[in-house]
A and B are shown apart, each in its own frame.
Chain A
Amino acid sequence: MVGIKLNKIFFHRLFNNLVEFFRSDASRFLFPALFLVLVFYIIPVIISVYLSFTPLKNWNIDRYAGEIIGFENYYKFFYMLTHDPSVKAVFLTTIVFVALTLTVNVLGGLGLAIATYFMSEKAAGGTQLIWLLPRMTPIAVYSMIWYYFFHPSSIGTLNSILLHLGLIDKPIDFGQGIIPWGAWAIIVFVNGLVGVSYGMIVFTSAISNIPKELVIAARVDGASNWEITRRILIPLLKWHIIYVTTWQLLSLITTYDHLFLLVKWGLVNRDYGTTWSLYIYNTAFQLGETDQGLAAAAGVILVLVSSGLGLLTLKLMGFEKMIKPPRGDI
């Protein structure tokens, strides 16, 4: 009884708020964006959730989409997770990939931001441009560049360097031959380069907001670059580091486009080069027999994980604003 009543109040208030919102000027400004987000963001996610309860295969919507099979796809996915070596590999790869790339991204971004701080302005600008390049490059070209860099034949740049140095006598197949670490190294490297720029930018702009007197006063007192980094810059960037870490964590869990071609072209092993997110895409669109129901089930689990982390990020961002100290701090 109480539940129903509460619900009634809740919906009443929701309804009132919605009416209020649509009456407001703001709704006119927000309408186009809300429409697009609704149709191409929110409804698809709801559909994905729905599809995870259907046996949809090969996009045969007429035949399968109306059928509800309960949690069968979920059972199947968990069964595969524990028994299918490929899916096990994907799971392991996801964890290793996210952990390592995250480390590379955050530390790399921090390192670059601090390194460029100690450089002349010109050199800093050049460095930032170089490290922004991967993010701004068409994914296909970017994948192609690393495809040739790590190519398993002597045409590959890395192989030819190693050959010239006499470290190896014949080309190595890094992505397929050295399993799993070769494949992992490549995907972490390729994605790491894209992600580093994010941290670099956030940290650079945060550092530029630190009053320069702090650094200069420390210099007058005799601080070296390392001491300024350790005792002043990093403590002042604490919140930014936490923020970048959670944000990048989310990105890495959900990203797959920079891996797609590396796997498709066979540069890296299919199992140890595929993350959970890519696995969902490939299951739904790529493999010989596509299984959208299974893909959706795997997807829903991923959504649960990532939206939990998303809420955490929100908390952190709000927190950051709340603790804003009165003066000096950034």
Chain B
Amino acid sequence: MPGMRDVEIRSRSTELLIMCIVFMLSLPVITGYALIILSSFSRDMVTNLDPSAFKPTLTNWILLFHGRTALFAGIRVNIWGIVFNTLIVALGISLLVTITGALTGYAISRMNFHGRKHIMALLILLHAFPGSVLVVGVAFIYRLFMPSYTYVVYYSFFFVILARAAIEIPMATWLMKGFFDMIPWEIEWSAIVDGASRIRVWWKILLPLIKPGLAAVMLFGFLAGWMDLIYVRTFLAEPTLAVFIEYNVHAEYAYLPLVAAAGTLYLLPTILFFLFAQKLIFTISVSGIKG
């Protein structure tokens, strides 16, 4: 019975009950997100669930794009610069994670080499390293190789991208391994019999076949970089959206609905992915955990 999960004739009442309960449990999440998004379009925060506080306006967004964090005071930030920084980090990590993930995923899926088992075990054990311990050592390396003042900004971007990408490698590798595992061996063998090298086979034959997998890892790496807080706040010489929110949510001078607008802006990729790439999100989440 293809696609069947359960018998078609059954009482719907328990199903309704279950749905009600799950919906009630989901309510805080839905409310929390909705209120922040709504607040970004309102003159006052509506997080108190008071409908009268909702005074629709686009001012927050206009102010935000002008880079003003307060309604009247003169503090200005370059919000586009901040978005740009966030984007650079996210894209850099995405790219790096995709390349390394596609390489390692292939090797682990297809090659039998000395230490394969150990590397697989290592990838899982890495999960057990507490991030905070790691970040102390990483900071030490960061300071050890600190260049002269003029290059610090570039150095910090470079460093954050590499260091943050390293954390995502185990996940990306598992994800890609899953995709490579699904491709029949014969495709590869016939190419190898024809005399192609492994790298060539990987590049010319397998990568085109696992485009959905590459898209998934790219998205996964992008989100990881985009949502990061700790690495950017610790190492990056320039602010990102995360840092902007960190410093403005409880700042006294901050105009809160505007921070809500910044938060909504920051949330935008997540929302877009949820609207347009649900399948991909499920793929990521399902295959990301097969390890």
Contacts and interface: CB of A to CB of B under 8 A. Distances in A.
Asked if A and B form a direct contact in the complex, defined as CB atoms under 8 angstroms apart, the reply is yes
B32 A149 contact: yes
Contacts of A322: none
A136 B223 contact: yes
B138 A44 contact: yes
Interface stretch (A75-83, A177-185, A298-306): A298-306
Interface string B112-139: 0111100101101111111111111111
A7 interface: no
Interface string B272-289: 011000100110011001
B170 to A, nearest CB: 8
B31 A157 contact: yes
B111 A26 contact: yes
B103 to A, nearest CB: 4
A43 B35 CA distance: 44
A202 interface: yes
B136 A48 contact: yes
Nearest to B164: A40
Nearest to B102: A29
A281 interface: yes
Interface residues of B, number: 103
B215 interface: no
Contacts of A129: 274, 278, 281
Interface in A267-316: 277-278, 280-281, 284-285, 292, 295-296, 299-300, 302-303, 306-307, 309-311, 313-314
Nearest to A244: B289
B130 A280 contact: yes
Given A29-B111, A40-B138, A51-B140, A140 B125 contact: no
A131 B29 contact: yes
A139 B7 CA distance: 41
Contacts of B106: 29
Contacts of B286: 201, 204-205
B166 A29 contact: no
A257 interface: yes
B266 A155 contact: no
Interface stretch (B12-20, B60-68, B69-77, B147-155): B12-20
Interface in A222-271: 224-225, 247, 250-251, 253-257, 260-261, 264-266
Contact of A41 (B30, B96, B129): B129
A138 B267 contact: yes
B103 A33 contact: yes
A201 B285 contact: yes
A96 interface: no
A314 B121 contact: yes
Contact of A32 (B1, B22, B103): B103
Nearest to A295: B136
Question: For chain A, which range describes its interface: under 10, 10 to 19, 20 to 34, or 35 or more residues?
Answer: 35 or more
A45 interface: yes
Contacts of B28: 149
A256 B134 CA distance: 12
Given A46-B137, A134-B29, A157-B48, A145 B36 contact: yes
Interface in A11-63: 17, 20-21, 24-33, 36-37, 39-41, 43-48, 51, 59, 61
Contacts of B132: 254, 256, 277-278, 280-281, 284, 295, 299
Given A137-B267, A261-B246, A144 B100 contact: no
B124 A314 contact: yes
A132 interface: yes
Given A33-B169, A136-B274, A307-B128, A25 B140 contact: no
A253 B21 CA distance: 30
A314 B122 CA distance: 10
Contact of A155 (B22, B48, B229): B48
Contacts of A115: 18, 21-22
A173 to B, nearest CB: 14
Contacts of B166: 36-37, 39-41
A95 interface: no
A147 B246 CA distance: 11
Contacts of A261: 229, 246, 249
A138 B266 contact: yes
B220 to A, nearest CB: 10
Nearest to A224: B14
Contact of B114 (A21, A28, A125): A21
Contact of B242 (A27, A138, A202): A138
Interface string B248-269: 0110000000011001001100
B131 A255 contact: yes
A37 B116 CA distance: 16
Contacts of B249: 144, 147, 261, 265
B131 A277 contact: yes
B107 interface: yes
B110 to A, nearest CB: 9
The 5 closest A-B pairs by CB, nearest first: A44-B137, A310-B128, A299-B133, A40-B166, A26-B113
Given A115-B21, A138-B241, A140-B241, 17 more contacts: A28-B198, A41-B126, A45-B133, A51-B136, A59-B143, A119-B18, A141-B263, A144-B245, A145-B263, A148-B45, A161-B49, A205-B289, A212-B4, A265-B249, A277-B132, A292-B140, A310-B125
12 contacts: A28-B199, A51-B137, A130-B26, A139-B228, A140-B266, A144-B249, A155-B48, A157-B31, A280-B132, A280-B136, A284-B132, A310-B128
